[in-house]
Amino acid sequence: MTQTTALEIKPRPHGFAAEVRGIDLAASLDENTVTALRTALATHSVLSVPEQDLDPAALERFSAQVGAFGHDPYVAPMDGFEHVIEVIREARETAPIFGSLWHSDWSFQATPPSATVLFAAEVPPVGGDTVFADAYRAFESLSPTMQALLAQLNGVHTAAPAYGPKGLFARDDASRSMRIIVSPEAEQMEVHPLVRRHPLSGRRALYLNHVYTIGIEGMRADESKTLLDFLFRHMTQAAFVYRHRWQAGTLVMWDNRCVVHYADGGYEGHRRLMYRTTLAGERPRA
């Protein structure tokens, strides 16, 4: 049955992130509802939708209504679900937490994903938050001189620090449950503008992150490190951050074109299970 609904959207302070109610994501959604969701995401950058009942199949169906699927490299999908990644950490695990450093999903791709969809199937009693930072306001709060400088620059992105033969996951211990794929292909590099314009909102956002942005095109390593370190600190300061505390049955969508995020820990000895999809994006443009 196709669902038509007027979304109940409650923005959080500063308009960064919003809670959405009055919708059943397991239902077939009509075009107006899907358009409203897309508009809300473009407006608020992060959407949380509590009290949902989704399994991997239902998450895949919902995601397909919102947009085409992106390509997820270096993590094997769930058996029987081509587009769903099981983000799982068992109570016994001692390997580093997946996604525990600030990043924008798959920014090293030529066409990185527009959005990520994450559903909480099993939440630990403590910890396990996801922390988001608003790259729109991070850019807009810079001086006009700095904005003009950054608008001329390109960042160099690569998956090597995470998935390359010498990357973080190549040093994993045997306790990790997720099926990570380490590959020499991760050492390939892609260049994107340090400031990208959102194709829907028209706003400009910083487009760089701690994990995948390793330099600035045309700069020496020491020069780019100095500028990137400043920007990393600036864009993740408390004024731009929203910390999402999960409850089982909550779905969160975020816009990778204007948001960076990381997965927090603090739940050692407990199980955490999430299902994730990504939606296809476009090549970043200044």
pLDDT at 8 over 80: yes
pLDDT at 1: 42
Exposure string of 183-197, with b = 16+ CB inside 10 Å and e = fewer, is beebeeebebbbbbb
> Is 284 inside any structural domain?
no
Confidence at residue 99, expressed as pLDDT on a 0 to 100 scale: 96
Task: Write the DSSP symbol of residue 175.
Answer: T
Residue 134 lies in a domain: yes
Res 6: pLDDT = 79
Q: Which of 88, 28, 51, 71 is nearest to 249 (CA)?
A: 51
CA distance 207 to 213: 9
Residue 40 domain-assigned (yes or no)? yes
Using the predicted structure, report yes or no on whether residue 2 has a pLDDT greater than 90. Answer: no
pLDDT digits (tens, 9 = 90+) for 210-225: 999 999 999 999 999 9
**Of the candidates 218, 216, 236, which has an alpha carbon nearest to the alpha carbon of residue 226?**
216
3-state secondary structure of 237: coil
Give the count of domains, the chain: 1
Kindly report the CATH number assigned to the domain that includes residue 83. Answer: 3.60.130.10
Burial of 13 (0-12, 13-18, 19+ CB in 10 A): exposed
User: pLDDT digits over 235-257, tens only?
Assistant: 999 999 999 999 999 999 999 99
| Residue 286 resides in a domain | no
Model pTM score: 0.96
Q: Which of 254, 256, 214, 205 is nearest to 234 (CA)?
A: 205
Give the model's pLDDT for residue 5: 59
Query: What is the DSSP code (8-state) at residue 184?
Result: G
Q: What is the DSSP letter of 74?
A: S
Residue 105 falls inside a structural domain: yes
User: Residue 216: enclosing H or E segment and its boundaries?
Assistant: strand 213-216
Residue 256 resides in a domain: yes
CA distance 115 to 34: 14
* pLDDT > 90 in the chain, percent: 96
- pLDDT beyond 80 at 233: yes
188: confidence class by pLDDT, cuts 50, 70, 90: very high
Mean pLDDT within 173-194: 96
pLDDT over 50 (residue 35) = yes
Residue 274, domain member (yes or no): yes
Let me know if residue 285 belongs to a domain. Answer: no
79-132: pLDDT as tens digits: 999 999 999 999 999 999 999 999 999 999 999 999 999 999 999 999 999 999
The bridge status of strand 130-134 relative to strand 18-21 is unpaired
Query: Which domain covers residue 63, as residue numbers?
Result: 2-279
